[in-house]
Chains A and B, each alone.
Chain A
Amino acid sequence: MNARLRALAATAASIPITLLGLVVVTFFIGRVVPIDPVLAVVGDRAPADVVARARVELGLDQPLLAQFWRYLTDILSGRLGRSVMTSNPVWEDIGRFFPATFELATLAILVAAVLGIGLGVLAATRQGSWVDQAVRVFCLAGHSLPIFVLGLVSLLVFYAWLGWLPGPGRQGVAYQDLVEPVTGLLTVDAAIAGDWDAFRDAWWHLIQPAGILAFFSLAYIARMTRAFMLAELGSEYVTTARAKGLSERRIVWRHAFRNTLVPLVTVLFLTYAGLLEGAVLTETIFAWPGIGQYLTVSLLNADMNAVLGATLVVGLIYVALNLLADLLYRLMDPRTR
């Protein structure tokens, strides 16, 4: 028990250090940037005294450590600065763009979990057969395909050639701003408002990007599931269960699979965090107004407050999900008690 508490304390102690590190990294990226932050605020035709005043106001005349302290206290009190591009506070922008990414990533992880676990178990129970080989090749392809190429091909086939799915964007033009935003998740909002046409529209727009994003992580989930299942299926309690004459389905699902759940949950959380990365490219292709698109558009417009704010928020979510995976693992696995 003592050892467990100590391990938990060590994890808890490492979090603030990691978070501080995150802030240090974004701070230094912000300092070495070739764009003069003063000129970004006042414009390049401002008179010299205005530039000087802005420099003092931004605290850029102070030593680096003082600047860092200011940056840190700003962040802790929730000030990420103002976006030059949208002229809103970065927090507000992120709050507006985040639900779109959340909706996309959540549907993607659900699809990936169901299909990935299914494929992994299928491959493990037929180890060495052509099914296993097919799943292996499929997974490797998933690992190797650039997500932006897959997205473009999917748009080409399902939108342009077959016309089965709608094109880029989160909703059709006819449904723009029709539904009262409550959660920011268009499908949920439409369902709350009872507008089923809008719901269907949002849903159809969601399917394609979510499917692409799911395929991206499916490969990893299937591969890990297969490995965990093989380890369990080779263990002695499975042999005992077989000797008792239990049905194969019962052995696979009730005995072996249950024991893979603990590591699988960790894998799912890590994959969910990794989806943030895939979301940047997917959102660019599908013109999905999420945090990934916000990040890239700000980058191309050299809007550094927005870039660093979004990077920091993504880092925070990433750390939180990793921590959650770690804690769940400890809670669920009786051996760590």
Chain B
Amino acid sequence: MTGPTPGSPIADAATATAAVEPIAAGAVPEAVAAAPPPRPSRRDWLLTDAPASRSQAAWGRRYQGWLAFRRNPLAMVGLGTILLMLALILLAPVLATHDPGVQELGNRLAAPSPTHWLGTDELGRDVWSRILYGGRITLGMVVAVVLLVAPLGLLVGCVAGYAGGVWDRVLMRVTDVFLAFPRLILALAFVAAMRPGVESAVLAIALTAWPPYARLARAETLTIRGTDYVAAARMTGASPARVVLRHVLPMCVPSLTVRVTLDMSSIILTAAGLGFLGLGAQPPLPEWGTMIATARRFILEQWWVALMPGIAIFAASLAFNLLGDGLRDVLDPKQR
């Protein structure tokens, strides 16, 4: 591995906390009871061939996935970059050297210097501080879109796939219509129908982003629908809602996670593109695309003002692509 390993311990801790269930509470005592005196190391407990409980088996699987993921240096770089960026924007008030809104008109368009690390913009505002706070807006928009879109797409896809018939046909026609426009252009038209701003940009991107998820979830559901365990669940008298929510939907989550991660980068680019065209976040908000749009006028002389947010967008989007690529190899090997 040539590159730096950006904080494997951080990454370790993050997966542990980001995971769905707390690890220690119920599971560990059971395992200890199964193998008394020499208390097994956590690693052995995770990698055992004979898990004593269901959660031990599940955690073992996750750990093995993590081990496979860790072997992919590019994916680790992606994960590290994302964690670093999250830390930077969460700690923005501490790390920012200036107030992102304060103008210093005597010091406009200054080159990078010890006081202004990345220079200043056309109103003398500190570019480094604006990028930190802008990350909250750009990445916040992306997170908002994903939170709106992933559950919706998942639900629509599973219902269409499981119910079949008229439902399926109608829902899939609707996705067809939304897929019949290039994403940015449909988002542009939607923003035009509302008012340019962060909320309408999020809504517009969300409206254009859900159909692929619905398609993916539907395709997965169609294969899951015919499996024996779904038939068994149905025979025991489970209602369709229970079958979809408990037995079908969770199975679609891994491939959807991969898709969402890979899609994050394109959502970042769309959000920044809307900002750049003047239809996303409005100045004086320090959204990255909006910053480039205003700095564009000075590109020939003070190029760094436009370039710095550009690098931030590129880094964020590349990191999600790298992470998604690595996740795909682990979670969804058949899609390679």
How far apart are the CA atoms of A304 and B189 in the complex, in Å? 9
Q: Contacts A14-B173, A21-B176, A144-B314; is A277 near B192 (CB within 8 Å)? A: no
Indicate with 1 or 0, residue by residue over B179-203, a CB within 8 angstroms of chain A CB atoms.
0111111101111111100000000
Residues on A with beta carbons closer than 8 Å to the beta carbon of B325 = 140
Residues on B with beta carbons closer than 8 Å to the beta carbon of A107 = none
Interface check B273, CB cutoff 8 A: yes
Residues on A with beta carbons closer than 8 Å to the beta carbon of B255 = none
Q: Which of B273, B313, B320 contacts A281 (CB 8 A)?
A: B273
Interface check B317, CB cutoff 8 A: yes
Residues of chain B from 175 to 232 with CB closer than 8 A to chain A in the complex: 176-178, 180-186, 188-195
Interface residues on B, range: 35 or more
Interface check A149, CB cutoff 8 A: yes
How far apart are the CA atoms of A152 and B318 in the complex, in Å? 19
Residues on B with beta carbons closer than 8 Å to the beta carbon of A14 = 173, 176
Q: Is the CB of B277 within 8 A of A284?
A: yes
Q: Is the CB of B182 within 8 A of A33?
A: no
Q: Is the CB of A304 within 8 A of B321?
A: no
Indicate with 1 or 0, residue by residue over A18-45, a CB within 8 angstroms of chain B CB atoms.
1001101110011011100000000000
Q: Which of B176, B181, B292, B318 contacts A148 (CB 8 A)?
A: B292
Q: Is the CB of B273 within 8 A of A146?
A: yes
Interface check A318, CB cutoff 8 A: yes
Q: Is the CB of A21 within 8 A of B174?
A: yes
Q: Name which of B185, B272, B289, B320 has the most chain A CB atoms within 10 A of its CB.
A: B185
Residues of chain B from 270 to 290 with CB closer than 8 A to chain A in the complex: 272-273, 276-279, 289
Indicate with 1 or 0, residue by residue over B294-336, a CB within 8 angstroms of chain A CB atoms.
0010011001001100100110011011100100000000001
Residues on A with beta carbons closer than 8 Å to the beta carbon of B277 = 280-281, 284, 296, 299
Interface check A319, CB cutoff 8 A: yes
Q: Contacts A140-B318, A141-B318, A149-B314; is A21 near B188 (CB within 8 Å)? A: no
Indicate with 1 or 0, residue by residue over A294-310, a CB within 8 angstroms of chain B CB atoms.
01100110101001100
Interface check B120, CB cutoff 8 A: no
Residues on B with beta carbons closer than 8 Å to the beta carbon of A318 = 180-182
Q: Is the CB of A295 within 8 A of B307?
A: no
How far apart are the CA atoms of A140 and B306 in the complex, in Å? 22
Q: Is the CB of B173 within 8 A of A17?
A: yes
Q: Contacts A152-B292, A295-B185; is A304 near B299 (CB within 8 Å)? A: no
Indicate with 1 or 0, residue by residue over A198-234, a CB within 8 angstroms of chain B CB atoms.
0000000000000000000000000000010000000
Residues on A with beta carbons closer than 8 Å to the beta carbon of B261 = none
Who on chain A is nearest to B272 by CB? Answer: A146
Interface check B118, CB cutoff 8 A: no
- Shortest beta-carbon distance, A163 to chain B, in Å? 12
Q: Contacts A14-B176, A153-B310, A155-B299; is A33 near B192 (CB within 8 Å)? A: yes
How far apart are the CA atoms of A227 and B336 in the complex, in Å? 8
Q: Contacts A144-B314, A144-B317; is A22 near B189 (CB within 8 Å)? A: no
Residues of chain A from 275 to 327 with CB closer than 8 A to chain B in the complex: 276-277, 280-281, 284, 295-296, 299-300, 302, 304, 307-308, 311, 314-315, 318-319, 322
Q: Is the CB of B189 within 8 A of A160?
A: no
How far apart are the CA atoms of A143 and B262 in the complex, in Å? 10
How far apart are the CA atoms of A282 and B98 in the complex, in Å? 34
Q: Is the CB of B181 within 8 A of A22?
A: yes
Interface check B265, CB cutoff 8 A: yes
Residues of chain B from 73 to 96 with CB closer than 8 A to chain A in the complex: 74
Residues on A with beta carbons closer than 8 Å to the beta carbon of B177 = 18, 21-22, 24-25
Q: Is the CB of A29 within 8 A of B189?
A: yes
- Determine chain A's interface SS by DSSP, over half rule: helix
Interface check B269, CB cutoff 8 A: yes
Q: Is the CB of A311 within 8 A of B306?
A: no
How far apart are the CA atoms of A300 and B277 in the complex, in Å? 9
Q: Name which of B174, B178, B269, B307 has the most chain A CB atoms within 10 A of its CB.
A: B269
- Shortest beta-carbon distance, B192 to chain A, in Å? 5
Who on chain B is nearest to A285 by CB? Answer: B296
- Shortest beta-carbon distance, A294 to chain B, in Å? 12
Q: Is the CB of A280 within 8 A of B188?
A: yes
Q: Name which of A30, A148, A156, A307 has the most chain B CB atoms within 10 A of its CB.
A: A148
Q: Which of B181, B194, B276, B310 contacts A311 (CB 8 A)?
A: B181
How far apart are the CA atoms of A296 and B191 in the complex, in Å? 11
Q: Is the CB of A160 within 8 A of B185?
A: no
Interface check A274, CB cutoff 8 A: yes
How far apart are the CA atoms of A267 and B273 in the complex, in Å? 24
Q: Contacts A140-B318, A144-B321, A304-B192; is A153 near B307 (CB within 8 Å)? A: yes
Interface check A100, CB cutoff 8 A: no
Q: Is the CB of B182 within 8 A of A277?
A: yes
Q: Which of B188, B195, B289 contacts A299 (CB 8 A)?
A: B188
Q: Name which of A143, A296, A322 has the most chain B CB atoms within 10 A of its CB.
A: A143
Residues on B with beta carbons closer than 8 Å to the beta carbon of A314 = 181-182, 185
Interface check A145, CB cutoff 8 A: yes
How far apart are the CA atoms of A146 and B192 in the complex, in Å? 22
Q: Contacts A25-B177, A143-B265; is A277 near B318 (CB within 8 Å)? A: no
How far apart are the CA atoms of A130 and B330 in the complex, in Å? 22
Interface check A256, CB cutoff 8 A: no
Residues on B with beta carbons closer than 8 Å to the beta carbon of A153 = 307, 310
Q: Is the CB of B181 within 8 A of A34?
A: no
Q: Which of B178, B278, B317, B320 contacts A146 (CB 8 A)?
A: B317
Q: Can you list 17 A-B contacts with CB-CB less than 8 angstroms, sorted by A residue number?
A: A17-B173, A18-B180, A21-B177, A21-B180, A140-B318, A140-B321, A143-B317, A146-B314, A149-B306, A152-B299, A152-B307, A152-B310, A153-B310, A307-B188, A308-B189, A314-B181, A318-B182
Question: Beyond A140-B325, A277-B184, A299-B277: 4 further Cβ-contacts under 8 Å?
Answer: A25-B189, A141-B318, A156-B299, A160-B299
Q: Which B residues are closer than 8 A to A by beta carbons?
A: 74, 173-174, 176-178, 180-186, 188-195, 265-266, 269, 272-273, 276-279, 289, 292, 296, 299-300, 303, 306-307, 310, 313-314, 317-318, 320-322, 325, 336
